[in-house]
Amino acid sequence: MNSIFTITLKELRSYFTSPIAYVVFTMFLVLSGYFFSVILFISKEASFRGAASNIIITLLFLMPLITMRMFSEERKMGTLELLMTKPVRDIEVMLGKFLAAAILFITMLASTLVYIFILTKYGNPDMGPIWSAYLGILLCGLSFIALGIFASTLTENQIIAAVIGFALVLLLWVMSWISGNLGEVDSELLSYISLSTHLEGFVKGVINLKDVVYYLSFIVFWLFVSVKSIEIRKWK
C-alpha cells in the first residue's frame, strides 16, 4: 500500500518538474472556460449541461498527453528495470501511476467548480444534474487515463503512446455511431462498449448504476491489461 503512494508522489512530482502538466492544465482551463462562457452567453441558462459535454471532449484530447510518458519514458530510460527489480508489485506500480494521473485530473476538474460557483451566484441552477455531470466526467476521465496508461505501456516513444492513446479513446468514444446500422444484438453491444453512451445519463442528471459499473469495470480492465503488458517481457 505504501509503495503505491510512494510511486504516486514521485509521479506527481515529476509531472510538475516537466512542463507537460502546466501546459495541459492551462490549456484545459482556457478551453473549458471558453466553452462555459460562450455557452452561457448564448443560452442565458444557468446550466452546466452544454459545458460538461464539451469539457469531456477537451479531456478526450488532453488526457493522452497526461498519460503518454507514464511507462514509455521508463522504458526508454531503462528505469523500468530499476523500478521492477525493487520490492514492489507490478500492480502497485500501475496503481501508483494511475493514482497520480487521477489526482492531476481531479485537480483540473475541481478547478472548474469556479464556474458552478458563478452559476449559483448569478442564477439558480438545479444542482442535481450538475453533480451527476461531474461524477460522469470523473468516471469517464478516469477511463481515459486507464486506456492512456495502457497505450504508454506499448511503446518507448511518448508521441506514439499519445497517438495510440488518443486513437483508442476516440474509437471507443464513437463506437456507438455505427450501432444504428447494424443488427439488433451488434448494435446493443457496440453502444454498450462505447464510452460516450454511458455519459449521456450523467449529463442529464440520471445516475444509472449500470453506467457506474461500466466505467469502473472499464478502468479495472485496462489497468489489468496494462499490468500484463508490462509483464510481457517475461514471456518473450
Partner 1 sequence: MIKASKLTKKYGTKAAIQDVSFNIDKGEVVGFLGPNGAGKTTTMRILTGYIPPTSGKVEIGGLDVFDDSLEVRRKLGYLPENTPLYLDMDVEVFLKYIAALKKVSTDKRSNHVSKIMKVCGIDNVRQSTIKTLSKGYKQRVGIAQALIGNPEYLILDEPTIGLDPKQIIEIRELIKSLAEDKTIILSTHILPEVSMTCSRVIIIAEGKIVAEDTPNNLENRLSGVAKVLLTVKGPGEEISSKLKEISGVKRVNIEKTQASDLVDLEVASQKDVDIRGQLAQAVVQNNWDLLEMRREVLGLEEIFLKLTTKE
Q: Give the span between the Cα atoms of 80 and 24, in whole angstroms.
A: 25
Shortest distance, CB of residue 52 to partner 1, whole angstroms?
Answer: 35
Which one, 44 or 234, has the nearer CB to partner 1? 234
Q: CB within 8 A of 207, min separation 6: which ones?
A: 132, 135, 201
For residues 158 and 72, is the Cβ–Cβ distance under 8 A? yes
**Maximum Cα–Cα distance for the chain, whole Å?**
61
Report which DSSP code applies to 183: -
Which one, 91 or 170, has the nearer CB to partner 1? 91
Shortest distance, CB of residue 140 to partner 1, whole angstroms?
Answer: 30
Q: Give the span between the Cα atoms of 139 and 203, in whole angstroms.
A: 12
Shortest distance, CB of residue 204 to partner 1, whole angstroms?
Answer: 44
Shortest distance, CB of residue 77 to partner 1, whole angstroms?
Answer: 5
Which one, 220 or 232, has the nearer CB to partner 1? 232
Binding-site ranges for partner 1 (CB under 8 A): 2-3, 6-7, 10, 13-14, 17-18, 77-89, 233-234, 236
Shortest distance, CB of residue 149 to partner 1, whole angstroms?
Answer: 18
Q: Cβ–Cβ contacts within 10 Å for residue 122, how many?
A: 10
Which one, 90 or 200, has the nearer CB to partner 1? 90
Which one, 70 or 147, has the nearer CB to partner 1? 70
Give the start-end residues of each E strand in 43-177.
Answer: none
